[in-house]
Amino acid sequence: MAITVKVLNRPVEEVSYVRATLSGLANTFRHLVDPHKVTTQYPEETEALSKRWRGTHRMLTTEDGKAKCVGCGLCPTVCPANCIKLVPGEDEQGNRFPLVFEIDEFRCIFCGYCQEVCPEEAIHLGRHYENAEFTRDGFVYDLERLTAQTHPVCELWDPADPAGE
Partner 1 sequence: MTPIAENPTAFAIASAIKVLVFFGVYLVTVALLTLAERKVSAWIQDRHGPNRAGLGGLLQPVADGLKNFMKEEVSPAAGNHIIFTLAPAISFCTAMVSWAVIPFAAPFPTPWGVVDVSIANLPVGFVFTLAIASLGVYGITLAGWSSNNKYSLLGGLRSSAQMISYEISMGLSIIPVLLLTGNVTMDGIVKDQALGGWNILNLSVAFLTFMISAFAETNRLPFDLPEAESELVAGYHTEYSSMKFSMFFIAEFANMLTASGMMATLFLGGWDIPFTTWDNTGDPSVLKTVLTLLSFVFKAGFFLFFYMWIRWTLPRFRYDQLMSLGWRFLLPLSLGYIVLVASVMLALQSAGIGRGVVQTGVLFGINVAVLVAVFVFFDRGRLVGETTGRLSAGELRHVRLRDRAAESRLARAHAEQGKED
Contact set with partner 1 (CB under 8 A): 5, 7-8, 10, 12-13, 15-19, 21, 24-25, 27-29, 31-34, 36-39, 41
**In the complex, minimum distance from the CB of residue 37 to partner 1, in angstroms, rounded to a whole number:** 5
When the beta carbons of 29 and 106 are compared against partner 1, the nearer one is 29
* Helices then strands, each counted (H, E), the chain: 4, 5
When the beta carbons of 10 and 136 are compared against partner 1, the nearer one is 10
Query: For residue 163, what is the DSSP state?
Result: T
Are 107 and 82 within 8 A, CB to CB?
A: yes
When the beta carbons of 17 and 134 are compared against partner 1, the nearer one is 17
The Cβ-side half-sphere exposure at 81, using a 13 Å CA radius, reads 14
Nearest by Cα to 86 from 54, 96, 31: 96
**In the complex, minimum distance from the CB of residue 13 to partner 1, in angstroms, rounded to a whole number:** 6
When the beta carbons of 12 and 160 are compared against partner 1, the nearer one is 12
